[in-house]
Amino acid sequence: MEKAMIGKTRRAANASTARKSCAACGCANTEVFYRQKGVPVHSVLLMETKEEAQNFRRGDIALAFCERCGFISNAAYDPSLQRYSPKCEESQGFSPTFSKFSRTLAEGLVSRYKLRNKEIMEIGCGKGEFLNLLCELGENTGVGFDPAYSAGWDSRQGDRVRFVSDFYSDKYAEVGADLIVCKMTLEHVGRPGELLSAIRSSAGKRPGSALFFQVPDTTRVLYELAFWDIYYEHCSYYSTYSLRSLLSRCGFLVTDVKKDYDGQYIICEARPGDVSVPEALAGRQELESLKFAVRYFAENNAQKISIWKKKLKDFHSTGYRTVLWGSGSKAAAFLTTLGITDEVGFVVDINPYRQGTFVAGTGHEIVGPSFLRDYKPDAVIAVNPVYRDEIRLELASLAIEPALITL
């Protein structure tokens, strides 16, 4: 976290005392602690030209913390600015590291819930990779909901799996399932209670239904001052405490919650229940720790941003060729927050669907790893440290030896 380099300031950078009702519990005791103006409203939507990327629609971020339930949301979020469509390309499945993690998750769910010849529903299924995997492993049938689904992208299961190119809502509440998956989706929902109410209605129609949730862990983001993990598409931010509280408030009984993927994700399993007092599910100490993390981020994020700006400018002034590895949301947030242009030459991605397009907001061109063989960068910045070893092997296969730096 570079704590030794980051001094404690007495005033929160970009902070405000403005208050707005919490989108999770309705409490009025929320406070904005981080602001950013003019960020791209999508960061994984494919941009065909540099001009399109640089002129792409923008919105504001104003992160507000609820002192009652611990929920953090973007108080400036406006869903009307966004257009989720098949042009969104968010797949991480080309990474061996991620694919191994995903398969382990799927195998665990199939085993724990005896998912053999069962029905599975995934809300926010993306291109359907995880749903297809669950159905493949247990010979299950499935239905996935996502407005960004692209037909034909992954059709391994044929007629066994169907997809609905739409947001899941209460109009689909009659669709029941033995397992309901909501993976990396709740953070994209501005009013999560409405979605969870629809899910609760659907889960109640199938005795024994189980639910699986996965969201980014915001506590890690706050303590690591990971400003690159804050972007417009993520309008809701969760800790283990706030996620348990929200699920309980919406009629779910949490059966297990843990962190995984090098502490980046919160994984939560639940079932329909009647618990209605979320504060009883976790000690006050956890909420106090979250409050401290919010203060720490508010007091120190500006200096972390300054450190990275200086580092990249110094690289550039010495003639270093610097590239980012990973072109998704983290890269877009990193570049736009820093206001970086020529200091980074290119952005690298192993996903062939993203190669040849441009990063929303800054217009950096996205290239494949083979491009580096001739470009010969001096420094490669990995936007996600979990892929460090994977990237190092790829660089070795290209017979180049740049400095490998991780965020």
- Domain range enclosing 252: 96-276
Model confidence pLDDT, tens digit, residues 246-278: 999 999 999 999 999 999 999 999 999 875 544
- The reply to whether 345 falls in a domain is yes
Q: What's the CATH number where 342 sits?
A: 3.40.50.720
Burial 391-402 (b: 16+ CB within 10 A, else e): beebbeebebeb
* pLDDT at residue 163, as a whole number: 94
Statement to judge: residues 139 and 116 lie in one domain:
yes
Model confidence pLDDT, tens digit, residues 72-108: 999 999 999 999 999 999 999 999 999 999 999 999 9
- The reply to whether 130 falls in a domain is yes
Statement to judge: residues 262 and 190 lie in one domain:
yes
Statement to judge: residues 40 and 104 lie in one domain:
no
* pLDDT at residue 7, as a whole number: 38
* pLDDT at residue 311, as a whole number: 97
- The reply to whether 229 falls in a domain is yes
Statement to judge: residues 116 and 237 lie in one domain:
yes
Proportion of the chain above pLDDT 70, given as a percent: 91
Statement to judge: residues 250 and 142 lie in one domain:
yes
Distance of CA 229 to the CA centre of its chain: 8
- Is pTM beyond 0.75 here? yes
Statement to judge: residues 50 and 130 lie in one domain:
no
| Tally of structural domains, the chain | 3
Model confidence pLDDT, tens digit, residues 306-327: 999 999 999 999 999 999 999 9
Proportion of the chain above pLDDT 90, given as a percent: 84
Distance of CA 19 to the CA centre of its chain: 25
The structure tokens listed for 15 are 């902070």
- The reply to whether 311 falls in a domain is no
- The reply to whether 88 falls in a domain is no
Statement to judge: residues 202 and 327 lie in one domain:
no
Q: What's the CATH number where 206 sits?
A: 3.40.50.150
d(CA 281, CA 275): 9
CB 105 within 8 A of CB 115: no
Model confidence pLDDT, tens digit, residues 129-177: 999 999 999 999 999 999 999 876 555 556 789 999 999 998 998 888 9
- The reply to whether 87 falls in a domain is no
